[in-house]
Amino acid sequence: MQTPAQSSSTDENEITLGIGMGPLKFGASMDEVRALMGEPEEIEESEDDDEFEHQAWNYLEEGYSLYFDREDDYRLSCIETDHPGIRLYGEAIHGKSPEEIQDLMKRHGHEQSEVEKMDTGEMRLSYEKEMIDMYFDENELQFVNFGVFINDDLEVQWPA
């Protein structure tokens, strides 16, 4: 039998496309995120020449970076994580190969992916409609960057 702590640790690293990860939901205010996660170890401000003005809250120990865009009233809009416990559709995905990830996505109806080889040798697997990028090094998933859905009119689709 699982204790609540065990089941919540699985849940808190579960990516739900377009919604968030575990208790972190896209659209949450900075105060709501602070109440859930505590103070970030580091807060980065975007550079002046960045296209989007934002703040990144880095929780280094947990392996999360949370992004808040000024354009979206500084609501949580994107999460990047290299947490070893990350899950997608209930499956642990950290360290999986691009083929295993593509198979998982295909089984859940996501066919359209793009593969890009980076100058640094890593590979990026992107699902544009699903707003998720997965980065691989030596054929193993290292980290995931995913965000709130955006419709064809480029409007943010906050989860209900």
Q: Note whether residue 91 is domain-resident.
A: yes
Number of domains in the chain: 1
Q: Is 36 contained in some domain?
A: yes
Where in the sequence is the domain holding 87, given as residue range(s)? 14-147
Question: Structure pTM?
Answer: 0.89
Q: Is 155 within the bounds of a domain?
A: no
pLDDT tens for the chain, 160 residues long, are: 333 333 344 588 999 999 999 999 999 999 999 999 999 999 999 887 767 788 999 999 999 999 999 888 999 999 999 999 999 999 999 999 999 999 999 999 999 999 999 888 899 999 999 999 999 999 999 999 999 999 999 899 999 8
Is 153 part of a structural domain of the chain?
A: no
Long-range interactions of 68-76: CB distance < 8 A, separation 24+: 68/30, 72/156, 74/29, 74/30, 75/26, 75/27, 75/28, 75/29, 75/158, 76/20, 76/24, 76/25, 76/26, 76/27, 76/28, 76/29, 76/33
